[in-house]
Chain A
């Protein structure tokens, strides 16, 4: 199949890649660009492991075609903090033991960042419903929700 050339921005850096028209953005990130921080749990939009932002909006990258990234601004887990300089959300996930296997974690951190950008002071119920598209099979969500609420408080400066 002939490949299409895509010019896009990922984590504020200009990026170009070639992909087949039927390849998802998730597949392009992982297999064309070797950005494997974004995970695949289902490829049907049901698990949230592939969460990224497109122009700031939270989406499942398995439901977006790679060619749709043309001219857009994509945000992935690789753009959120580094080991020496973690984002508050990443730090709180570690402090609260909010991950066990960690396969859901990149998606949840991307989704949490999007949640707190939209709603800096969510109630527990709001956080639970916003993150309902991000499945975690290991934790029962308790520690995740605590990490999210604590992140929100810290980011508001009220922790």
Chain B
């Protein structure tokens, strides 16, 4: 399907269509909408990590002048447990409701228990203080090892482990067990000359988007509702809010504002149903915005994990067996990204004998949300660290070891499909041949590499292309743009239409303005929504040729479409898009086309990163001094934004490897709920991040596109921590490699 083509727009570094609004401050984000008569809402949150709610008394708050409504879980209808697909992950709608407003129990410090709407922010703050909640404290369960003990306090009396041979009779904090295997794991290890085996640990981290969750909503007397919010998926906001409030889908219109980062964290909801209840009760529009502390305490985060990995190989480097046990924290409600972790963990390698077990475990922390390639960074950190250790033991170059075992076209992935063309080998070769990999290292410095695999998703997209009478184009899509995707949408439309990219305006319509679109997630947008745009644009071209044929009174096959102009092959007569569109009213009506599809054949994107670090032996502080991110894009539509995805993922992964972690006290209270103490990488923490765009076309996409948004966060965890290991001569198997932990490793080595 995809051959090498000469593209006019694809592959250029065009200026993004929403760029002017973003650099002038005109762009409207989640917290930027104010409506006439609007009230300010605030949420009352739990001071305990685990407690039973005995009573909520809102009378004093309600009596305060200026308070217009108060809401608690009693205002939500009773709903049954039901699974709803949200982005790449799914959620139980009943759990989601209880996460938005606690019912009977609070399950983490910061869990929402009530909310108020008042005429000013000050009064809303005062009213929250006046809500009195009586609790019976319970012992918090703060990590998987505690949670899975037989005598651990149970978070949910009605949670029974799924995925066991026999249905259990007693409730458990283990929500699910999952297993994947192939070959004979014992025979595989028996064949091995060298075996490495180790436990690994990763902390709770936050997606860290700079824009807090925010919405402005209005419930009208006729039962119609409007929600303006920052989300990766406004159709999922509509679906989940409707379920929680037991409303009809068509009664809710969701408008996706500009979104200030999501990384998976804005594929779920926290505020919208609460704000809508307050709006209904007060009869006024309501704005509800989290502050940064609430974002840390009650949104996100990404799962903490504990894993055990064992890998065996022959002396020549052939890996004979890979085994893993992976425990993921789900937070307060079931549903960690354990399953994708299990499916990803060893997938870069073609190995005969594999056995993986995974456990989804609830603990008294906020319910985890998707975080960029959800589940994969944690699992692949462990696996890639093990591969690096194996390379050391075999005395082999870690790239050579990976090349010897790399998955390639035809490899049967353990989660099901046989790979079509994939680019892992090409990425490894690019790493091996890079100037970076060959450069010398200095004192206290270390280097390592790691690979990363993510499936990528297709899912559903609907678009409409409308031709204006002057030949300019509106592309109506429904995929919230989290990283510049409108640029690539405009470029793909331009390419098909032969119309200059500046003449194309992509807009993200609200849920009433375009057909259903799955959430922006799974690196799906440029792939799947792009595919719909290509299809619709081809339809537009066909219609324009038909109109020209009618004007010239010739058959369609006598009309060519060249650079946005219809050409009569018989006499070289020409009609531009503008001319055709201006006359459209008299040749059959305005020209527009639509396409709706569920995209199959998302191409996996492999990444390989090379990291150099320098360790201060006196303090344990680690600096990344050189970094290269290599990844298969299939085909890069806008190379600037593709590089941006590689660099941004690398930076987040570096933060995960070196600094970021939730720190709890003994009562389960988060101690670092702010950017000062939860330190994401600053400009002064990072070097330039070199990039290499590998292009092994995805055979299922007209241009060969693979999603690029997620794989880049996977390799840094192992690449950076293994580089630290190499610099100090101690294996780092717990993240983050923060100064105290690195210093301790250095001291244990020296003793």
| Chain A residues within 8 Å of B, Cβ to Cβ | 1, 20, 22, 27, 30-31, 34-44, 46-47, 49, 76-78, 80-83, 86, 90, 93-97, 99-106, 109, 125, 127-129, 131-146
Query: How many pairs of A and B residues are in contact by the CB < 8 Å rule?
Result: 192
Query: How far apart are A1's CB and chain B's nearest CB, in angstroms?
Result: 6
B3-26 residues at the A interface, CB under 8 angstroms = 13, 15-16, 18-26
Q: Are A102 and B644 in contact (CB under 8 A)?
A: no
Tell me the count of chain B residues lying within 8 A, CB to CB, of chain A: 62
Flag if B484 contacts A131 (CB, 8 Å).
Answer: no
The interface-forming segment of B257-265, B500-508, B521-529, B739-747 is B257-265
For this complex, 18 residue pairs linking A to B, each with C-beta atoms less than 8 Å apart, are A31-B34, A35-B25, A38-B25, A41-B260, A43-B291, A77-B25, A78-B24, A78-B25, A90-B24, A94-B20, A94-B23, A100-B261, A101-B209, A102-B22, A102-B260, A140-B649, A141-B681, A145-B683
Taken together as a complex, chains A and B put the C-alpha atoms of A94 and B122 apart, in Å, by 39
> Please, how many angstroms separate the alpha-carbon atoms of A140 and B263 in the complex?
14
CB under 8 Å from chain A, chain B span 287-306? 291-292
Which residues in A have their C-beta under 8 angstroms from that of B210? 39, 41, 47, 49, 101, 103-104, 135-137
- A96 with B640: in contact, given A43-B292, A109-B23 (CB under 8 Å)? yes
A16 to chain B, nearest CB (A): 19
Q: Within the complex, which residue of B24, B259, B645, B680 is in contact with A77, where a contact is CB–CB below 8 Å?
A: B24
Smallest Cβ-Cβ distance to A143: which chain B residue: B644
* Across-interface contacts of A90 in B (CB, < 8 A): 23-24
Interface segment, B46-54, B321-329, B684-692?
A: B684-692
Give the shortest distance, in Å, between B638 (CB) and chain A (any CB): 8
Indicate if the CB atoms of B644 and A106 lie closer than 8 Å.
no
> Known contacts A97-B643, A103-B209; can you find 14 more A-B pairs with CB under 8 A?
A37-B25, A38-B25, A42-B291, A46-B292, A77-B25, A83-B21, A96-B640, A100-B641, A101-B210, A101-B258, A106-B23, A131-B683, A132-B683, A145-B683
Given contacts A97-B484, A137-B210, A138-B648, contact A82 B24 (CB under 8 A): yes
User: With a CB–CB cut-off of 8 A, which chain A residues contact B676?
Assistant: 44, 46
- Cα A20 to Cα B120 in complex, Å, equals 10
Residues of B within 8 A of A (CB): 13, 15-16, 18-29, 31-32, 34, 120-122, 207-212, 258-263, 291-292, 482-484, 638, 640-641, 643-645, 647-652, 674-676, 680-686, 688-689
- The reply to whether B25 and A145 contact each other, CB–CB distance below 8 Å, is no
> A74 CA to B209 CA in the complex, in Å?
27
**Contact across chains for A41 and B211 when beta carbons are under 8 A apart:** yes
Residues on B with C-beta less than 8 A from A31 are 34, 121
**B122, A47: Cβ atoms under 8 Å?**
no
Most buried by A among B209, B484, B682: B682
Q: B640 → chain A, closest Cβ, in Å?
A: 3
Which chain A residue shows the least CB distance to B292?
A42
The one of A40, A132, A139 that contacts B644, using a Cβ cutoff of 8 Å: A139
CA distance A143 to B475 in the complex (A): 28
Query: Quick check: A138 and B483 within 8 Å, CB to CB?
Result: yes
Q: Is the CB of A103 within 8 A of B24?
A: no
CB distance from B480 to the nearest CB of A (A): 10
Select from chain B the residue with minimum beta-carbon distance to A109: B23
For A126, give the chain B residue with the smallest CB separation. Answer: B684
Q: With a CB–CB cut-off of 8 A, which chain B residues contact A38?
A: 25
Report how far A44 CA is from B537 CA in the complex, Å.
47
Q: A137-B209, A138-B648, A142-B689 are in contact. Are A103 and B15 (CB under 8 A)?
A: no
B651 contacts across to A, CB distance below 8 A: 139-141
Shortest CB-to-CB span from B52 to chain A, Å, is 33
Q: What residues of chain A lie closer than 8 Å to B645, measured between beta carbons?
A: 100
Cβ–Cβ < 8 Å partners of A102 in chain B:
18, 22-23, 27, 258, 260
Which chain B residue shows the least CB distance to A45? B676
Q: Is the CB of A40 within 8 A of B22?
A: no
Q: Which residues of B contact A141 (CB under 8 A)?
A: 651, 681, 683, 686
Is A97's CB under 8 angstroms from B29's CB? no
Among all A-B residue pairs, the 3 with the closest Cβ atoms: A37-B25, A103-B260, A140-B651
Looking at the assembled complex, report how far the CB atom of B198 sits from the nearest CB atom of chain A, in whole angstroms.
Answer: 29
Find the B residue at minimum CB distance from A146.
Answer: B688
Q: Are B25 and A97 in contact (CB under 8 A)?
A: no
Q: Within 8 Å CB of A132, what residues of B?
A: 682-685
Q: How far is the CA of A28 from the CA of B641 in the complex (A)?
A: 35
A100-B482, A132-B682, A138-B483 known; A143 and B292 CB under 8 Å? no
- Do A95 and B15 have beta carbons less than 8 Å apart? yes
**Candidate in A44, A90, A103 with the most chain B CB atoms within 10 angstroms:** A103
User: Which of A27, A30, A134, A136 counts the most B-chain CB atoms under 10 A from its CB?
Assistant: A136
